[in-house]
Structure 1
Amino acid sequence: MTAPLDGLAVNPAVPTDLLLRLLGPEYESVWHALAALRASFPEEVTAAIVRHPHRRVRRALARNPFVDPEVRGLLVDDPDWFVRLCLAGRPDRTRPVRPLPDWVIDRMLTTYDNECLQELVFSRQIPYRVQRTYCRHPLASVRQMATHTWTLLSAGERTALLKDPHPEVRASAERMQETDDAEAMERRLGPLPVPHHHGTALILVNYRLSRTIVDWLLSDPHPDNPWVLAHNYSTPPDVVAGLVTHADPKVRLELARRSDLAPELVRALARDDAPQVRTAISLRPGLSEDERAAIDYTVDADENFGPYEHHAHPAPDPAASAVYARSRHPLLRRRAAQDPALPAALVALLARDDDPGVRMLLAHNHPAPPPELLLRSYLEHRGKARDLLIEHPRFPVAGLGPRFADADAAGERRLAVLDPGLAPATADRLTRDPNTTVRAGAARHPHLPHERLLALLADEELGEHAAANPALPVTVMRGLLRQ
């Protein structure tokens, strides 16, 4: 009976008392489904999970990607280190992560050990706006974390950290200030030749280089050196100019991305043999629409378009987004389409765009895309994030049954079972569909005829989905727990 009970654990219509019973030791096999896969819990059930004696239950809630992060955050002070580690880590790498509440993040920053904090930092659960407050945090260890975002800090914030009352904060700030000091970086690298390993690569790629180090990179035969020079912000203009004709297109592509590229180098790379180099040049700020159009750029139509974790990044510039949205360059319009604050008029404009990438990015990233755009994007989408579109609250589900129940493609027939008005006979028929996902969706549909629903509870494949059907009578639910 494990499969039907797993379905019951996620059934949105299950009474509170039955969910509490499923947390008992006799239903241990169902704990994961209940705590990790439900999207919401009655308050009494949430409290029972948070204080459950077995850490497996609490760990499952900590990694639940469907539940509100505020609920996950209730575990912030869990007595078990591993549960706290799971909360700090990304819940699910196949779905966009949502930010943890501010109060949870602050509690973590002030009480968690380094290993948990490392998980938190790389989990993308901290909003960018919260990261920008680190330099003013009352705890020295958090202010020290601010020094690692040195390039994002204002001059006043840097000065304050350099004068911080705590010696470790000051020392960290001084080390970060040295990243823009070529002589200090030369001392840190040590005598030439510099050994090639991760530590030296970090310095060579990101920190200001002295002319001595630049000349050594030019003379050293290591294959990564030209790319390092193309990338490093401090590479002298004469060296940058000399790399424009480098044989490796990856080096020239990195040059094309430099913000300080001289106009004559921009013109040269606009005629580059490699299409990816020309495309990068075509996206540079400052070019006119005619100048962009004159470049033979390419547009990737097979990109895996999906949602962007906006909270983890600075907010887009509204003025830039407005310009991009009206650009003739589809890749700039794609940038605009990712802006969740794009005004309604520009949303309407991009929803009719002739580039599928623009339309799909808008559907995935704007909080209020036109419903018809969501449906069109789902029908056109073949990427990993396709199924996320049908989870959007604006996805138009009414009338999908008659329209798609007999479609040739399984992905379209799946739409039929989203229709709240699906005919019972059609739901019954689709439980016998050749496609597994369609059959499962039909078994969960509340219009599935009662007799068929009860019969499917004993089905080896569809029993779990039938038990998740919100139309399942409560008496039957209780009976499943007694078996």
Structure 2
Amino acid sequence: MSHRPRTAEAIWLAADLPARRLAGVALNPIAGTDVLLRLLACDSAAVRMTLCRDRDLPEEVVDAVITHPDHRTRSFFAANPHIDPAQRARLVDDPHWLVRAWLGRGPGFSHEPSKLPEHTVVRILTTYDPEHLGTLYRQVPRSARWTFPSHPEPKVRDYACNWWSELTPQEQSALLTDPDEGVREHALRAGRHLDPEYVERELPDRSCHARTHLLMYGALSRRVVEQVLAAPVGREDLAMIAGNPSLPLDVLALLARDPDPRVRENAAGRPELAVEQRQALANDSDVAVRTRISVHPALTEEERSAIDYQVSSDETFARSHIPASMYDPAQSRHHALSGHPPLRRRAAYDPSLPPDLVARLSCDSDLGVRVLLAQNHPQAPAGLLLRSFLEYTGRERWSLTTRPNFPTEELAGYAEAADPMVRRLALLSSQTPSATVDRLSADPDPDVRADAARHPRLSLRRLIELLDDEELAYKAAANPALPPPMLHRLVAALDGQA
């Protein structure tokens, strides 16, 4: 194999037009196993990267990737988010560190976490160097949380300390007295922020991440609190301790009256606030403080409605990665039935909401409630998904089109929309006329052009033109309307056979 650039971006920038065409062929759904195997054997790193990283693969091709002589090719596959994690797990004992490192890192954060088999995670923990574990935590199945604390392998028990706050007191106690010294030390470190003496001893005297963590989550001794009150190191110190559950109630009362609205806002989130403190914050001069206190669990619906709060529709309404098991059904129902939009937004995150609440929140008057429900519930209705897409213009808007019930037909009329992202809707439909698709392939917006280049109703004339377009050849070669003889000629040309 020839020299390969190190990063994915560099690999793609170094690819010439023929290689980019072949990379498109690698993603073409009509490309059979024979074509994919030929692409796997070619000398272009860009083609092999696309093939191994950016699509699902037939079993025969997977077998060939696993045994491919080039370690970088195997590393592409190790991070493939489209493949069954059990197939990626076959690389767990790969001889090259780069492959193992990518398996430990897994797919990037733009993809849903892909859980590896539990026995594979155990193998990684017990054989890999720590620096190769990457973001392994995103790939650990939930079941491991219950088995790892008592696992016979010390390194596995050690890893269980990473989710210390989720462990039972019995599990924490067992790890603190573990027969393995390393496990005991990790357990001690994991829980030491709950020791006021440790926090007092180790609190940095300068603004830094460690100080922030301890002030927000550590057990604060009276001495530490008085030091922060008397001589805060940074302007955020008081706001940090205001939200700390260990803060003494008399100090909480003091900070609830602090001149800095950021401090008062954090204090407003504390459940221990007395009635008079809640009333004062409900009438605070700062709208962020009033909005924060408006969701306090001790307030009645009447008290919430009397607060001059503010909710914004300019926020990011996105997917939550909190598993359904972490939501309390009774609390979600209570929030969904509230007259308070911020509480209904909390309910809309719950992917296990029952049908009656899904129907209710689908018609909610608040944009945030509707969009969050559309983004997070697997049974969000088609009408809600389309309405949410048309009304919401914030980040992760396009992810709405990937939800299970998003309507993909009868969208051709959106081809004339002023908003380029709405024009893209027309290219989700198989009913959009060829002439419209051809026109959109020359759209001013690059995403619209790219979608049109892959649309199956793109005319053959325009498709052939785009195969020579530096920008769109990659997309055009992935178009399932590409005639098979032309696809095979592209592959043969790279091999010097045509």
Same fold (TM over 0.5): yes
Q: 1:386 is aligned with what amino acid?
A: R
| Counterpart pick for 1:2 among 6, 19, 22 | 19
How far apart, in 2, do the equivalents of 1:324 and 1:392 lie? 24
Q: Which residue of 2 aligns with 1:470?
A: 480
Alignment partner for residue 26 of structure 1, among 32, 37, 43? Answer: 43
Matched with 1:162 is 176
Aligned to 2:31: 14
* SS at structure 1 position matched to 2:390: helix
Q: Is contact 2:320-2:349 (8 Å) kept?
A: yes
Shift of 1:73: 3.2
Q: Which residue of 1 aligns with 2:376?
A: 365
Q: Using the TM superposition, give the Cα deviation of residue 148 of structure 1 relative to its aligned residue in structure 2, in angstroms.
A: 4.2
Q: CA RMSD in A?
A: 2.5
Which moved further from structure 2: 86-95 or 235-244? 86-95
Distance change (3 Å), C-alpha of 1:350 and 1:463: same
Q: Which moved more, 1:274-283 or 1:422-431?
A: 422-431
Give the C-alpha shift of residue 279 in structure 1: 1.2
Residue 399, structure 1, aligned to residue 410, structure 2: yes
After TM superposition, give the deviation of residue 452 of structure 1 in Å: 3.4
Change in Cα spacing, 1:131 to 1:454, as seen in structure 2 (3 Å) is: same
Give the CA deviation at 1:95. 4.1
**Contact kept in structure 2, 1:36 and 1:63, CA below 8 Å:** yes
Distance (whole Å) between structure 2 residues aligned to residue 430 and residue 175 of structure 1: 58
Task: Provide, for residues 132-186 of structure 1, a one-character-per-residue CA deviation record: whole Å limited to 9, x for no partner.
Answer: 5432222222223333433332222223323433333334444555543434544
Query: What does 1:132-281 correspond to in 2, within 5 Å?
Result: 132-176=146-190, 178-188=192-202, 194=205, 197-223=208-234, 224-281=236-293
1:422 is aligned to 2:432: yes
Q: Structure 1 residue 55 and structure 2 residue 71: aligned? A: yes
Shift of 1:287: 1.7
Distance 1:219 1:290, change over 3 A: same
Instruction: Give 2:130's aligned residue.
Output: 114
Query: Counterpart amino acid of 2:267?
Result: L
Shift of the alpha carbon at 1:52?
Answer: 1.7
| 3-state SS of paired residue (1:60) | helix
Give the gaps of 5 or more residues in structure 1. none
Structure 1 residue 341, shift from structure 2 partner: 0.8
8 A Cα contact 2:205 2:233, kept in partner: no
Q: Distance in 2 between matches of 1:475 and 1:413?
A: 32
Deviation at 1:455, TM superposition (A): 3.6
Q: What SS is found at the alignment partner of 2:326?
A: coil
1:7–1:304 CA distance, 2 compared to 1 (3 A): same
> Given that residues 271 and 298 in structure 2 are in contact (C-alpha distance below 8 angstroms), is that contact kept between their aligned partners in structure 1?
no
> In the aligned structure 2, how far is the partner of 1:180 from the partner of 1:404?
56
TM, length-normalised to structure 2: 0.87
**d(CA) in 1 for partners of 2:79, 2:490:** 27
Residue 187 (structure 1) shift: 4.5
**Measured at CA, do residues 67 and 372 of structure 1 come closer, stay the same or move farther in structure 2, by a change above 3 Å?**
farther
Distance 1:426 1:259, change over 3 A: same
Amino acid at match of 1:56: R
Q: Indicate the residue corresponding to 1:321 in structure 2.
A: 332
Conservation of the 8 A alpha-carbon contact between 2:29 and 2:480: yes
Distance 1:230 1:372, change over 3 A: same
* C-alpha deviation, 1:127, in angstroms: 4.6
- Tell me whether 70-79 or 367-376 shows the greater mean CA deviation: 70-79
Tell me the amino acid that sits aligned with residue 69 of structure 2: P
Q: SS of the residue aligned with 2:416?
A: coil
- Give CA-to-partner distance per residue, 1:282-325, whole Å, 9 cap, x none: 112132111111111110211111111134x8521111111111
Query: Take 2:491 and 2:188, find their aligned partners in 1: how far apart are those partners?
Result: 63
How far off its partner does 1:456 sit? 3.0
Is the alpha carbon distance of 1:140 and 1:291 closer, same or farther for their aligned partners in structure 2, counting shifts above 3 Å? same
Deviations 1:354-376 (A, max 9, x none): 11111111111111211121111
Question: What corresponds to 2:302 in structure 1?
Answer: 290
Contact preservation (8 Å) 2:107, 2:114 = no
The alignment status of 1:348 with 2:362, answered yes or no, reads no
324-333 or 232-241: bigger deviation = 232-241
2:109 — aligned with what?
93
Query: 2: CA distance between counterparts of 1:28 and 1:171?
Result: 44
Query: Residue 96 of structure 1 contacts residue 308 of structure 1 at CA under 8 Å; is this kept in 2?
Result: no
Deviation at 1:198, TM superposition (A): 4.3
Paired with 2:213 and 2:474, the residues of 1 have a C-alpha distance of 51
Alpha carbons of 1:203 and 1:28: their partners in 2 closer, same or farther (altered >3 Å)? closer
Q: Tell me how far 1:388 sits from its aligned partner.
A: 1.5
Letter in 2 for 1:87: L
Counterparts of 1:376 and 1:452, CA distance in 2:
32
- Residue 281 of structure 1 and its aligned partner are, at CA, apart by 1.0
User: Structure 1 stretch 427-436 or stretch 54-63: which is displaced more?
Assistant: 427-436
Asked whether the 8 Å contact 1:85–1:119 carries over to 2, the reply is: no
Q: 2:90 aligns with which of 74, 79, 82?
A: 74
Q: Could you tell me which residue of structure 1 aligns to residue 4 of structure 2?
A: none
Opposite residue 163 of structure 2, the aligned amino acid is T
Instruction: Name the CA shift for 1:185/1:450 in 2 (closer, same or farther; >3 Å).
Output: closer
| Partners of 1:339 and 1:448 in 2: CA distance | 40
Per the alignment, in what secondary structure is the counterpart of residue 2 of structure 1? Answer: helix
SS in 2 for 1:417: helix
Contact 1:96 1:307 (C-alpha < 8 Å) held by counterparts:
no
Structure 2 counterpart of 1:446, from 443, 456, 472: 456
Query: What letter is aligned with 2:420?
Result: A
Q: CA deviation at 1:85?
A: 1.9
In structure 1, distance between residues paired with 2:143 and 2:303: 36
Counterpart for residue 338 of structure 1? 349
